[in-house]
Amino acid sequence: MSKHVAVLLGGWSAEREVSLRSGEACAKAAESVGYRVSRVDVGRDIAQVLTELKPDVVLNALHGPFGEDGTIQGVLEILGIPYSHSGVLASALAMDKAQAKIVLAAHGVPVPPGRLVTRAEAARAHVLPRPYVLKPVREGSSVGVSIVNEDQEHPPQELNRPDWPHGELLMAESYIPGLELTCAVMGGEPLDVIEIQSAVRFYDYEAKYAPGGSVHILPARILPNIYQKVRMLAARAHEALGCRGISRADFRYDDTTGDESGLFCLEVNTQPGMTETSLVPELAAHAGHSFGELVRWMVEDASLDR
């Protein structure tokens, strides 16, 4: 009898629409390779829904808070249902940009210089020499990210919005010019490296998910030693945070340096997107894995965080 796979999708974070697309793509792929699939648009009654559904495995296609920050992983641990991707601690660590940077730096993964600031502080005056980047400390998919340019006299005005939905803590980081690079890790082994050319200055939400928003160059056009350094650092970051299954590490590389000193890890994604424009399926295909095989691997790799 084929496994019953519950695909968790949707939810209520700012990344709901992306999760719906990721989840539907994964559900169709899981059905195509023979699994019995239930699509679950996650609400706050998820524990009751899964208790009644009784799946063998959960394929987690949620993005953002509650879906990839250790919260849903804790629920699945309590219910005793094996699930894909990282466990409670790794998910919580990777989602918190400030804590993740501390762990990564301690394990020799270079991260951009910066500091944690409050929204009020960032809205009042420049918190770093320009140019710099402001990121909500617990969001994904570049939601709420701003680049403060050299000639920008005042901080981003949207920080003053009374309905600002992205939390009161921000990570301020020096802007790293140059190339946007990413590398996935699958079962502890790094895949190849993609260079991302965005239609805008940085790889924002629109560039990530809108058709034509970016161009992916695979393999990345960088020196062989830098290419292998990216792969090594992606694997090291995956291990340092305690990730399992598939993760994706994002980098910036100032190629004007000509050496490894210009390479910085921006963050590690424990629940990479699985949409038609997503990077991990493209990297897996380059390594010889069809999308159906990738989804089968995730299902069979699912476990509890023990």
Token digits for 56? 């063998």
Exactly one of 10, 273, 278, 282 is catalytic; which is it?
273
Q: What is the rounded CA–CA span in Å between residue 34 and residue 140? A: 32
Task: Report yes or no: 97 and 173 within 8 Å, Cβ to Cβ.
Answer: no
Q: Residue 2 catalytic?
A: no
Which residue of the set 13, 60, 141, 142 is catalytic? 141
- Contact (CB, 8 A) for 27 and 83: no
- Of the candidates 19, 86, 214, 269, the residue annotated as catalytic is 269
Write down the catalytic residue from 83, 209, 227, 253: 209
Q: In whole angstroms, give the CA distance from residue 23 to residue 29.
A: 10
The answer to whether residue 83 is catalytic is no
Catalytic residue among 68, 173, 195, 267: 267
Active-site position among 250, 252, 262, 296: 250
Catalytic: 24?
no
15 labelled catalytic: yes
User: Tokens 């609400």 label which residue?
Assistant: 43
Which of the residues 119, 231, 244, 248 is marked catalytic? 248
Nearest to 195 by CA among 263, 246, 261, 128: 263
Amino acid at 246: I
Residue 248 annotated in active site: yes
Can you give the C-alpha Rg of the chain in angstroms?
19
Which one from 11, 13, 15, 244 is the annotated catalytic residue?
A: 15
Catalytic residue positions?
15, 141, 209, 248, 250, 267, 269, 273
